[in-house]
Amino acid sequence: MTGAIVLLAAAALLSGPLDFNARDMRIEPQGRRVLLDGDVRLTRGDLHVTGEHAVAEYGKQSAQKARARKAEAVAGGQTVERFTVRGNVRVQRGSRTATGEQGVVDVKGQTLVLTGTLETPPMVRDGAETLSGERILLRLDSEDVDVIRPRVVLRRSLAEEGHAAPPTPVKVEADHLVLLQARRLARFTDDVVLRRGDAVARSPRMEARYDADGQLTRLELRGGVDVRQGDRRATGESADYDAQARTLVLQGDPKLYDQGDVLTGDRIDLALDSKEVRVERARGRLRPEAHKREAAAQ
């Protein structure tokens, strides 16, 4: 069965007709809902949502609201407030795809919330980037995304000149993530953990910045940073990761602990691939005997 749920205004994303396909359709006036079953597909512009089942819920309207309604879906003369799609839900919008076990479209709030299970959490893919979490909220009036307990693989970091091999992916975990597409910014907060190869950095908050082509260019960690790579540990109030240079720059009373050595300065640069260190206005304490023992053990 095919059909269209007519939307009234032209300004918001969910305007114009919202087309649907399903094997079966049942209208329940008493329950103020429409049930769709079997190969459900909802389409509006470049937004496509598919699943096994869907429920369109609509509510009562006063005469005043009926005259003033804007950018709202109507089915059978009633205003649709929410669509719930269940079972192998897939969302496609431009180059971005998302999957989950359930998707809820809030027409008035212009959001789509995806949830899943521990075994199959909701997931978003945008080009080479992959994002999963406990709950993913897609804003339909923009391309922004809000994620609870995200797990992200940032693969689109800039390749080094003269190197054909793909860059080492950067993996991020946190309690919360907001993607601000128009600003080309990803904002992670609460217990941020950044992993790249054998390097692990922890911080309360981090922002990832992208260029116009969607390439990761910079990571900015703030609020106290702890970095570990092998036996080496570095700390500071802030750290900036340059995706092209593959360097992590610590500032704000930065310190480096390495095989008994303690270095501090105005700024500490860590080259994550070569493991070279550069310190501005360096001062510290070196323990040569520790390095002798290390060399003898090799």
The answer to whether residues 124 and 179 belong to one domain is no
The residue among 295 and 176 whose pLDDT is bigger is 176
The answer to whether residues 21 and 107 belong to one domain is yes
Residue 260 — very low, low, confident or very high, per pLDDT cuts 50/70/90? confident
- The pLDDT of residue 126: 80
pLDDT at 298 over 50: no
Number of domains in the chain: 2
For 130-168, the pLDDT digits (tens) are: 889 999 999 988 888 999 999 988 765 545 444 555 667
The residue among 79 and 43 whose pLDDT is bigger is 43
- Would you say the C-alpha torsion 136, 140, 145, 148 has a positive or negative sign? negative
The answer to whether residues 68 and 89 belong to one domain is yes
- The pLDDT of residue 50: 95
Show which of 148, 173, 205 is a domain's final residue. 148
DSSP characters over 51-73: EEEEEEEEE---HHHHHH--S-E
The answer to whether residues 73 and 134 belong to one domain is yes
The answer to whether residues 211 and 127 belong to one domain is no
Residue 124 in tokens: 């978003």
For 62-106, the pLDDT digits (tens) are: 544 544 444 445 444 457 788 899 999 999 988 889 999 999 998
* Average pLDDT, integer, range 36-43: 92
The answer to whether residues 156 and 175 belong to one domain is yes
Among candidates 130, 157, 128, which has minimal Cα distance to 216?
A: 157
- The pLDDT of residue 7: 30
Q: Which of 164-178, 215-229, 259-273 has the lowest mean pLDDT?
A: 164-178
The answer to whether residues 180 and 231 belong to one domain is yes
The residue among 181 and 124 whose pLDDT is bigger is 124
What mean pLDDT value characterizes the chain? 81
Residue 253 in tokens: 């009373």
The answer to whether residues 125 and 163 belong to one domain is no
Half-sphere exposure of residue 63: CA atoms within 13 angstroms, side-chain side = 0
pLDDT at 53 over 60: yes
Question: How many angstroms separate the CA atoms of 201 and 89, rounded?
Answer: 34
pLDDT at 108 over 70: yes
Residue 38 — very low, low, confident or very high, per pLDDT cuts 50/70/90? very high
Show which of 91, 120, 148 is a domain's final residue. 148
Residue 205 in tokens: 């908050």
The answer to whether residues 141 and 191 belong to one domain is no
- The pLDDT of residue 156: 59
Q: Give the domain extent around 164.
A: 152-298
pLDDT at 5 over 50: no
The residue among 157 and 40 whose pLDDT is bigger is 40
DSSP state of 296: H
Show which of 148, 167, 182 is a domain's final residue. 148
- The pLDDT of residue 168: 74
φ and ψ at residue 133, rounded to 5 degrees: -175, 180
The answer to whether residues 115 and 176 belong to one domain is no
The answer to whether 46 and 14 are in contact (CB under 8 A) is no
- The pLDDT of residue 107: 82
Q: What is the CATH number of the domain that holds 210?
A: 2.60.450.10
For 188-243, the pLDDT digits (tens) are: 999 999 998 888 999 999 999 988 887 888 999 999 999 998 888 999 999 999 98
pLDDT at 19 over 90: no
Question: How many angstroms separate the CA atoms of 50 and 85, rounded?
Answer: 8
pTM, two decimals, is 0.76
- The pLDDT of residue 162: 45
The answer to whether residues 134 and 26 belong to one domain is yes
C-alpha 274, offset from chain centre: 30
The answer to whether residues 142 and 165 belong to one domain is no
Half-sphere exposure of residue 50: CA atoms within 13 angstroms, side-chain side = 8
- The pLDDT of residue 214: 78
